[in-house]
Amino acid sequence: MKSPSSTCIRCFFLLLVLLALDSCRLFRRRESSVYDTPRNNTNSSHRYTYRTINQIIQEARSYTGVPYRSGGNDYSGVDCSGLLCTVYKSQGFSLPRISYQQAEVGVEVDARAIRPGDLLFFVTGTNGVGRINHAGLVTEVKNDTELYFIHASSSKGVREDNLWSRYWKACFVKAIRPF
């Protein structure tokens, strides 16, 4: 028969082991972001959540109708990568300034898994051959044939279009889930 003191010692030892494991980072429950993807953002005080995604989309939509201007990034004129860079910056996130560089920030997602807040990348005007030269932000996914993104069109300014339209579907290269 075990003595009461040996049982207490074993319980105490077990408690110490549990406390040690609890304090170990490997055993802590991880606080996940909305998309649970790697973060490339250098400012760790900002989280990529549904709330920030909605704020980014709202900020992007405030540019609707702004004319296209190559190299622009404000309400007087904006290009596609400048729009993304500016609206993400408004929420404390940093994106590269050039669309083909933005296409490398985050995790590539399958077209069937695209969600609001994801970035879309295209090769336009070259029959799909060449380097990524256009980008947009997914604003709304209605169904399998209606997926809307906002971008700065060189001919029509900032607007929302359907990814699955004939033109955009043919130019589409990939989708990225940033941060």
* 50-61 vs 80-89: helix crossing angle, rounded to 10: 130
Q: Is 8 one of the catalytic residues? A: no
Q: List 157's β-bridge partners, or say none.
A: 153
For residue 75, CA distances in Å to 60, 62, 63, 130 come to 11, 9, 7, 30
| Annotated catalytic residue within 11, 46, 80, 85 | 80
Among candidate residues 11, 46, 151, 171, the one labeled active-site is: 151
134 is catalytic: yes
Amino acid letter, residue 88: Y
Please count the CA atoms within 13 angstroms of the CA of 162 that sit on its side-chain side: 8
Tell me if residue 46 is catalytic.
no
Phi/psi for 91 (5° steps) reads -110, 15
With vertex at residue 173, the alpha carbon angle to CA 179 and CA 165, rounded to the nearest 5 degrees, is: 110
Catalytic site positions = 80, 134, 151
